[in-house]
């Protein structure tokens, strides 16, 4: 078996792309999108007509509504290819506004349901700020399932578990990037690879904590830089992987062994922690990597959301 097929024995494989025409060859169960991936897709000739068609059909609506129509249209196309779920992201500019995040999540779900797609096939993607976690908690109580993204710190994962969130996406590659940049010339790539990779270690810690205490929130490793990081997390609930890395896994034949196991997590020595708002904010502040990467991620997604807004504004003139 190739490495992708081996990985699927232990982990649910998810495609991290807005390019739905690439999906079938990798047969993922789910797919994830974000503003940057959608922006990248609509700039390609294959997808530009889909954007233009959607904007033309809704040109009289407010800009924010048209954006959601575009995101949901891509989600609909993706769900024609994958048998499971698609993650559709709330505007990153709402990351610190609980009420507006709830409203946007409800609107996205309503658009999917109007298209005949049940809410069990959609995850509303929200940044794992304190406000985002509280918004997702409220949405979950309404039966709207959420994927908490831009997750870098253990406190974010604990708070999501306590809030009853369906799924979290810890960002392996961005954690790795931060520590590599901090180390500079002293970084030893070989020594910090595999299970020693700081991003891999972060996801492993979260997985162990959740399984040890029976927390039902699913862990989906995200943002990978190489297949070594992916293989080091074989056994994680889900892994969302870019098409380029999916292709590398499909071409590889080296053995893939299970690294994360719920039975091992159950027997691990783990201490329970809990966070109120003040504790959460302090713990996040104490983690320089998480603080910087969360802020950077929100800024990056917001910038791409603005670019998509401008494209839509031009099309509806």
Active site residues: 125
Q: How far does CA 41 lie from the centroid of its chain?
A: 17
Q: Name the phi and psi angles at 89, rounded to 5.
A: -95, 135
Which residues have a Cβ under 8 Å from the Cβ of 165 and sit 6 or more positions away? 133, 136, 137, 140, 146, 148, 217
Contact (Cβ atoms closer than 8 angstroms) between residue 291 and residue 285: yes
Only one residue has tokens 């910087």, namely 292
CB atoms within 10 A of CB 84: 15
Measured CA to CA, the distance from residue 284 to residue 292 in angstroms comes to 10
Contact (Cβ atoms closer than 8 angstroms) between residue 250 and residue 192: no
């Amino acid at each position: 078996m190739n490495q992708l097929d081996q990985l699927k024995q232990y982990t649910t494989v998810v495609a991290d792309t807005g390019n739905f025409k690439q999906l079938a060859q990798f047969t993922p169960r789910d797919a994830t999108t974000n503003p940057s991936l959608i922006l990248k897709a609509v700039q390609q000739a294959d997808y530009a007509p889909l954007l233009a068609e959607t904007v033309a059909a809704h040109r009289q609506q407010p800009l924010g509504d048209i954006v959601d129509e575009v995101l949901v249209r891509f989600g609909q196309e993706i769900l024609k290819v994958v048998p499971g779920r698609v993650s559709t992201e709330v505007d990153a500019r709402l990351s610190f506004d609980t009420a507006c995040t709830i409203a946007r999540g409800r609107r996205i779900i309503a658009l999917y349901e109007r298209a005949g797609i049940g809410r069990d096939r959609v995850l509303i993607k929200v940044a794992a700020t304190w406000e985002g976690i509280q918004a997702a908690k409220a949405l979950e109580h309404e039966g709207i399932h959420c994927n908490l993204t831009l997750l870098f710190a253990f406190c974010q994962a604990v708070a999501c578990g306590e809030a009853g969130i369906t799924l979290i996406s810890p960002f392996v590659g961005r954690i790795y990037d931060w520590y590599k940049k901090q180390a500079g010339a002293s970084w030893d790539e070989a020594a910090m690879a595999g299970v020693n990779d700081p991003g891999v270690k972060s996801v492993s810690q979260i997985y162990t904590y959740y399984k040890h205490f029976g927390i039902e929130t699913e862990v989906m490793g995200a943002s990978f830089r190489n297949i070594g990081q992916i293989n080091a997390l074989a056994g994680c609930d889900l892994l969302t992987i870019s098409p380029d890395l999916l292709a590398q896994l499909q071409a590889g034949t080296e053995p893939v062994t299970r690294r994360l196991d719920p039975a091992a997590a159950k027997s691990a020595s783990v201490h329970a922690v809990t966070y109120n708002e003040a504790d959460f904010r302090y713990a996040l502040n104490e983690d320089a990597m998480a603080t910087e990467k969360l802020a950077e991620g929100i800024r990056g997604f917001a910038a791409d959301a603005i670019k998509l807004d401008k494209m839509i504004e031009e099309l509806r003139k």
